[in-house]
Structure 1
């Protein structure tokens, strides 16, 4: 004894609960399945909108093999982004972050390490500091949606790494200038 819910082109089949079950139970199950908030969609059966979540499903004439239409704000044909599978846009943002960080690691990190061994060249300090600041500004310009946890984490880690490199550079220069004879 099942009921079918049509959601776009998708068909969701579930067991028909007892007649005294409130509509809210079905709405919550569908919300869990679709990842939509319960208030974000309407349920329609036999041409009538099922509005009263406290009413038993028998009040709506649901019976085995009934068909309910779920009308929601999200198109079921679009893949849902999850923590395990970032959306295409999120993957693109992550790739941009990783490209920036790779450029810093390969082109600036060796120069910073060399400078730290002998922090005496003011022009080199200024050059490296400027390039690291430019990298931080590029990372700062990357916008990740609040729901893109992986992209936000990647950006945060990249900013920390570049900022740490800049801090080491500036600390070496400050130490050199405060300990150098006048």
Structure 2
């Protein structure tokens, strides 16, 4: 069954038979993206596909469905045994840049698409949730007071994601009928 996987650019993939466990799909996508299998989330119709033992059919995928592959920017969010957080300014800047890359590559195009047709309530909820999750991840990044560059980049990243969230809410509000 052909589906679209959004990761950077959209990719068309064919899923294995419906009784195949999600773990096999995750492994295949990990090989394709060169990401560790536990370093990304799969999201379909606003829900995280987490049960790797469940068959693909449990996620109500249909031909031409879209799955968002969201790469984790904070390894502690997905690894069972988290490595110690790096305490260098460069590592913090790289973490911020990775989070922004994910937002720009996967959510910004979806927001632009939503702007053209702002009537899909599920898409509004999905985008709002994913942008909020990104804000929370950025908020969890701690930079030393002396690391002015890292603190500025974090502040700019938070502002950019918050602006996208505000834009989403403005688009949604303007599409609602006036009472």
Aligned to 2:173: 174
Aligned to 1:40: none
SS in 1 for 2:119: coil
CA distance in 2, matches of 1:113, 1:161: 15
CA distance in 1, matches of 2:96, 2:121: 30
Residue segments in structure 2 that go unaligned for 5+ positions in a row: 1-86
| Residues 130-152 of structure 1: CA deviation (Å, up to 9, x unaligned) | 00000000000000011100000
Give the number of aligned pairs.
Answer: 94
SS in 1 for 2:176: helix
TM-score by length of 1: 0.50
Residue segments in structure 1 that go unaligned for 5+ positions in a row: 1-87
Aligned to 1:159: 158
Equivalences for residues 1-182 of structure 1 within 5 A? 89-179=88-178
CA-based RMSD of the aligned residues comes to 1.6
Q: Which runs of 4+ in 1 moved over 4 A?
A: none
| Residues 78-108 of structure 1: CA deviation (Å, up to 9, x unaligned) | xxxxxxxxxx700000000000000000010
SS in 2 for 1:163: helix
CA distance in 1, matches of 2:132, 2:107: 12
SS in 2 for 1:142: coil
CA distance in 2, matches of 1:174, 1:102: 27
SS in 2 for 1:124: helix
CA distance in 2, matches of 1:175, 1:135: 24
TM-score by length of 2: 0.51
SS in 2 for 1:170: helix
